[in-house]
């Protein structure tokens, strides 16, 4: 992600996206998160097996990378999935799952 432009933060209330590290532009509360997955590769078969489709998924950050690893967050309302491409997807997924438990 472009950390100087925007980044996601794990907070006690949920996941928060901030512009320039200060201005909160999107908040996702823990009670609205159902599951978290790490997905490797382009939008394709591995995403579709989880139920993610272009019409019910919002993709934030990353753009086109040669080795694209995303964190797919399953939500309770539409759009059903939120896909983000953090610099360290394993750490973010571990933090998210720890807060969900």
Choose between 73 and 65: higher pLDDT: 73
Residue 39 has phi, psi (to 5 degrees) of -125, 125
Residue 74: name the closest of 44, 43, 100, 45 by CA. Answer: 100
pLDDT at 64 over 50: no
Please give the pLDDT value at position 66. Answer: 44
Asked if the model's pLDDT at residue 48 lies above 60, the reply is yes
* Of 91 and 67, the one with more pLDDT: 91
Helix (H) / strand (E) containing 90:
helix 89-100
Question: What is the separation, in whole angstroms, between the first and last Cα of the chain?
Answer: 26
């Amino acid at each position: 992600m472009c950390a100087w432009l925007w980044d996601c933060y794990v907070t006690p209330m949920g996941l928060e996206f901030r512009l320039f590290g200060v201005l909160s532009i999107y908040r996702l509360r823990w009670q609205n998160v159902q599951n978290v997955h790490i997905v490797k590769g382009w939008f394709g078969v591995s995403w579709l097996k989880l139920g993610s489709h272009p019409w019910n998924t919002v993709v934030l950050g990353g753009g086109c990378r040669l080795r694209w690893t995303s964190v797919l967050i399953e939500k309770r309302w539409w759009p059903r999935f939120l896909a983000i491409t953090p610099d360290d997807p394993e750490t973010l997924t571990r933090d998210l799952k720890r807060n969900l438990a």
